[in-house]
Chain A
Amino acid sequence: MRSVAIRFGQMLLVLWAVATLLFFLFRLMPGDPTLAYIDTTFTAEQQEALKRQFGLDRSLFEQYIAYFSNVFHGEFGTSFRSKRPVFDIIFEVLPNTLALTALSITIAYVFGVLVGAWLAWKRGSVAEALGIPLVLTLRAAPEFWLGMVLLAVFAFGLGWFPSGGANSAGMTYGSTLERMTSADFLHHLILPAATLALYLQGLPLLLMRSNMLDVLQEDYVMMARMKGLPEWRILLLHAARNALLPVVTAFALGLGASVGGNVVVETVFSWPGLGRVLVDAVAGSDYPLAQGAFMFIALILIVMNFVADLLYSVLDPRVAHG
């Protein structure tokens, strides 16, 4: 329990540090610091209100305090381009990013775990000799390039899938849920999800394989062999269960990192998600939106790092005491 509290404290420290870094990062940009929140196209009243809310006419220290109190209340200011609250824009695209990430990482880990265990079992075979370099090669491929190749072949060449976006133009839906369960949405989701899954599968696969190889050396596996249990039972019930533990941790880490890493895949497929919002906002000098999107991506990453840390010590009690 005590170690959980310490880890939680460490997470808060990291959150505070990253938020502080962000505060100063967005004051590094060229020009007047009020530019971080105020655009000249805003009305005079809007400008006044934002100045007051973010303390822009006061000292840097007071701005820093105002920044934190605003972050706590989910106030990230108003987007320069769309003139809407940053929070609303982020919440609009967040489901798209989560759907893309969750689907692709699930496919990647199920595939990776199964194939990794199989390759460990096939140690020394032709399948291993060819499989490992292939997996490493896929892992070395830039995500956006994989996406480009898939786009050229399956969207432009064969015409099986749409070339971008999350929904066809002109479609209207009653709710987000209705939109995201429509066949049209899934049709748009397949290529970007496949790209991400191809990229992500290498880590669980290699991890599962090397864990399996370790576990198969353990005494209890030897014991099971001596008892004369069938090989598949040993693999599934004795070895795979334990080899899975680090993969579960990797899944949590991967989920957190992937939300930020989706940036390029979302850009290639014009997928309206958090990463693409960030890229567009930075490119278009929409500072409040860029800041808000960055903060959300960081929040998800840090919380998932914390979850991974906890999972690791829960699943493998030796760590907590190590």
Chain B
Amino acid sequence: MSTPAEGKRRRRFPSLMRALRLPENDPLAMIGVAIYVVFLLVALFADVLASDPLEILFLDDGNLAANVPPSLAFPLGTTNLGRDIYSQLIVGTRAAFVVGLTAAIAVVAVGTLVGLLAGYFGGWVDNVLMRLADIALGIPFLPFVIVLAAFLGAQTQNVVLAITVLLWPNTARVIRSQVLTLRERGFVEAARVAGSSDWRIIRVHIAPNILPLSLLYGSIAIGWAILTEASISFLGFGPSGSVSWGAMLQDAYASQALSRGSYNWFVPPGLCIVLVVVAGFFISRGYEEVLFPKLKD
């Protein structure tokens, strides 16, 4: 049942609605959506699916359940300190989504706003904003995140802040060039002649047309954010005491899981990262050139 208000909204954002439709004719994109849905469900029901990931477990004979190979009781075995790897993997899904979604939303919000302003107003606004983008692109990504996490404290919000500060220019540049072409289109010209204000033109005529592009960038940014968080945790600058895939890999690396050949410990978290990140790539695959904004702006 659709109310008149909904109907009106649907007409106002036709391109957005088109972008949000399931990409049924693209099998890879459907796989991507399916991966997202599965991981989202796992993150939501992590409490039901897993037990306490940091609990130290003991075997029936009273010994520490350290480095137990996969079995019915421990589907992926245990760590060297007797913690259940499967539970860590499940609970780690949450950290991935928290960082991935918040960073993606922040990156895309900042990038879209800057791109809109720079592209629409041009002139000195454009100049200042694009020089800021140059500066952000001149900051080495991981080193900056490391230093910021080390100095401001290794909380999740600082990692998200660092990712946002450095990743918005890619989105901004693409949105800007899109706005530049939209600005010259007939319907924008018509609105201007009819006396619409700048803000109204941006809000009603331009923003809805670039939102699909923003969403697309969001799905890629989720992946970059998760990769970055994992790298930071692996290097030992992540939030301490939290359960994430990156922290699991760091734990495994530092505990000689590689030399012991404990593939059950370090392969699953890496595969989960690959799956979530590649899902974003699959969804955006139709827009391949969008993956390389620096080269096409």
Tell me, yes or no, whether A166 is within 8 Å of chain B by CB: no
Given A14-B138, A141-B273, A157-B261, A264:B292 Cβ within 8 A = no
List chain A residues, Cβ under 8 A from B113: none
B135 at the interface (CB under 8 A from A): yes
Q: Tell me, yes or no, whether A28 is within 8 Å of chain B by CB.
A: yes
Q: Beyond A206-B288, A294-B140, A297-B143, is A140–B274 a contact (Cβ under 8 Å)?
A: yes
For A29, what are the chain B residues with a Cβ–Cβ distance below 8 Å?
150-151
Q: Which residues of B contact A203 (CB under 8 A)?
A: 292
Chain A residues within 8 Å of chain B by Cβ, number: 61
Going nearest first, the 6 A-B pairs with the smallest beta carbon separation are A260-B140, A140-B277, A145-B270, A140-B278, A14-B138, A302-B138
Given the complex, which residues of A lie within 8 Å of B252, measured CB to CB? 148
For A278, the chain B residues whose CB sits under 8 A away are 143, 146
A230 within 8 A of B: no
**B205 within 8 Å of A (CB atoms):** no
- In the assembled complex, the Cα of A284 lies from the Cα of B156 at a distance in Å of 21
Chain A binding surface, main DSSP class: helix
* Residues 266-297 of chain B, each 1 if its beta carbon lies under 8 Å from chain A, else 0: 11011001110110011001001101101100
Q: Which of B234, B282, B285 has the largest count of A CB atoms less than 10 A from its CB?
A: B234
- State whether the Cβ of B161 lies closer than 8 Å to any Cβ in chain A: no
B-chain residues with CB within 8 Å of residue A305 when the two chains form the complex: 134, 137-138
Interface residues on B, range: 35 or more
B52-71 interface mask toward A, CB cutoff 8 Å, 1 = contact, 0 = none?
Answer: 00000000000000000000
**Pair A151/B258 contact, Cβ less than 8 Å:** yes
Closest CB-CB distance, B93 to chain A, in whole Å?
16
Q: Determine whether A263 belongs to the interface, using a CB cutoff of 8 Å to chain B.
A: yes
- Please name all residues of chain A whose beta carbon is closer than 8 Å to the beta carbon of B246 when the two chains form the complex: 142
Most chain A C-beta atoms within 10 Å of own C-beta, residue among B259, B269, B281: B281
Q: Are A294 and B147 in contact (CB under 8 A)?
A: yes
Q: Which chain B residues numbered 140 to 158 have a C-beta less than 8 Å away from chain A? A: 140-144, 146-148, 150-152
CB of A257 closer than 8 Å to a CB of B: yes
A140 to B48, CA, bound (A): 29
Min CB gap A57→B, angstroms:
23
Given A29-B151, A297-B143, A298-B140, also A144-B28 (CB < 8 A):
no
Q: Chain B residue with minimal CB distance to A16?
A: B135
Known: A141-B270, A268-B253. A136 touches B236 (CB 8 A): no
Partner of B143, one of A155, A249, A263: A263
B49 is an interface residue with CB less than 8 A from chain A: no
